Amino acid sequence: LASASCKTVAAASTYPHEVARTRMREQARSGIFKYKGMWQTLGVIGKEEGRKGLYAGMGPHLLKAVPNAAIMFLTYETVNTWLRKCTVSDDCIEMKVAKN
């Protein structure tokens, strides 16, 4: 839950950069160079499209990025916990048994 909320905040705060980067990359394909740099691109998008333009497409991006981050951290924590319980001896892996 914490990883999902942190990823949401991080993605929302950096999404305008993603939009600007995508616009700059796509202009090279079309051959029409409207954007010259990151700050200029953000300014043009802000003036022409407003804040909506800077956050266009963020919903689908969050639907992809947030579950990915949550699954990644869950996997990391699960594997980390499992590895703490394991020891390698000779050619086999043995699980440590918790003694009460």
Per residue of the chain (100 residues), give pLDDT as tens.
777 888 889 988 999 999 999 999 888 787 778 899 999 999 999 999 998 999 999 999 999 988 888 899 889 989 888 888 776 665 555 666 555 4
Rounded to the nearest 10°, the torsion over CA 70, 56, 17, 1 is: -20
pLDDT at residue 6 in the model: 86
pTM for the whole thing?
0.64
- Strand positions, DSSP E, the chain: 86-89, 92-95
pLDDT at residue 76 in the model: 92
pLDDT at residue 21 in the model: 92
Question: Could you tell me which of 50, 59, 71 has the C-alpha nearest to residue 15?
Answer: 59
